Amino acid sequence: MEIIRNTEFGGERPLYGKRGLRLENVVINPGESALKETAGIEAVGCEFKGKYPFWCTDGFTVDRCVFREGARAALWYSRDLRMTNCLVEAPKMFREMDNLSLESVRFTNALETFWDCRGISLKDVEVENADYIYMHSSGIRIQDYRQKGNYSFQYCKDVEIRNAVMDTKDAFWMTENVTVYDSRINGEYLGWYSKNLTLVNCHIEGTQPLCYAEDLVLENCTFGPDADLAFEYSTVKATIKGDITSVKNPRSGMISAGSIGEVIIDHNIKAPGDCRIITTGE
């Protein structure tokens, strides 16, 4: 393997087409496509300042690196990435990629990140300013995760999330086959138009959660007081610990809660309109 240490590159495509290359303490200055069309790349302790450094890269590891704001759209059309212990300040990372594994990575501007990706594994990852993250992606596995950013996971399929804290309005819209365990989700309009969304041991905050959903399941969840007007037009099986402020026009299934402040069933309810609503007094 070729090794390059303690130097700088800039301009257009300085390392284009390289195979079997290890970069140690290298700075990629402003320019474009520093490592385009490469394979078998290792980057350790590097700093990326220029646009599009990893495009069309096949098999690479990135450890203890920093992607500055100028390194926007850094990793596109690539596959088989392992990224560890990195700081990412640039938006629009990861598009049209396969098999991404990230551990101990922090994003300070995750706008429009992880679009159209397949096979995402995240552990101990934190994302901020993360509007429209994960659009149209699939095969996502997340553990020990923190997120601030709205409109997340839209149109995603096959997602499993464990031990997460997410501040995110309009999350999980139009998703299929999503399961979230042991997490807190704070945001308005959660899970609208979803199919097979399951929440287990989760705490939910924000108005009008879980409406227009199909085959929705909640197990042992809790609702904050602002999580009102829940389950409108949804088919649902829900067991809620404690109180729900209000439930409106659930379509079918069963909702069990300690208490429900208001149950709204009006002329707008959709057939079959036979959801069982149970209060347990617990």
Task: Scan for tokens 């389950």, then name that residue.
Answer: 231
Residues of the chain with pLDDT under 70: 282
Q: What is the pLDDT of residue 282?
A: 67
Q: What is the pLDDT of residue 278?
A: 87
Task: Scan for tokens 């809620």, then name that residue.
Answer: 240
Q: What is the pLDDT of residue 279?
A: 87
Tokens coding 228:
């009102």
d(C-alpha 158, C-alpha 139), whole Å = 5
Backbone region of residue 124 per phi and psi (left: phi > 0; alpha: psi in -120 to 50; beta: other values): left
d(C-alpha 236, C-alpha 49), whole Å = 48
H, E, C per residue of 209-251: CCCCCECEEEEEEEECCCCCCECCCCEEEEEECCEEEEEECCC
**What amino acid occupies position 199?**
L
